Amino acid sequence: MKIKVIITLKNGVLDPQGKAIQQTLNGMNFGNVEDVRQGKYFEIEVKEKDEKKAKSLVDDMCKKLLANLVIEDYKIV
């Protein structure tokens, strides 16, 4: 079963890459871009048929490795 995870920086944490992308987009005449936040996306193939179990495993992975909860939030989608 494939579980998808999105990791983003917490609100309030500085994202200089997102800022640089936003400024570049503004410079390319996408003037209505007000903010960009960059994140990470994972597709994790788990050997598990039960979706609930698989998601709970991935939740544990997020806490232990995939995300650093000091600055990042994760969302299992």
Partner 1 sequence: MRSSVIIFPGSNCDRDMGVALKKFGFKNQMVWHNDQSIPKSDLIVLPGGFSYGDYLRCGSIASKSKIIKSVIDFANSGGLVLGICNGFQILTETGLLKGILQQNKFLNFICSNVFIKVKDKQNKYFRDLKKDILELHIAHNEGNYFCSDDELKSLEDNNQIAVTYCGEDGTENETTNPNGAIKNIAGIFNNNKNVLGMMPHPERMIDKYLSGEDGSLFFKNILDNFK
Contacting residues toward partner 1, per CB under 8 A: 13-14, 16-17, 20, 65-66, 68, 70-71
Cβ at position 68, least distance to partner 1 in Å: 6
Q: Are strands 39-45 and 72-76 parallel, antiparallel or unpaired?
A: unpaired
Closest CB to partner 1 among residues 33, 71? 71
**What is the torsion angle, in degrees rounded to the nearest 10, for the CA atoms of residue 14, residue 16, residue 18 and residue 21?**
160
Closest CB to partner 1 among residues 1, 38? 38
Q: Which tokens is 29 given?
A: 């005449």
Closest CB to partner 1 among residues 24, 51? 24
Cβ at position 52, least distance to partner 1 in Å: 26
Give the full edge-to-edge strand order of the sheet including 72-76: 39-45, 2-9, 72-76
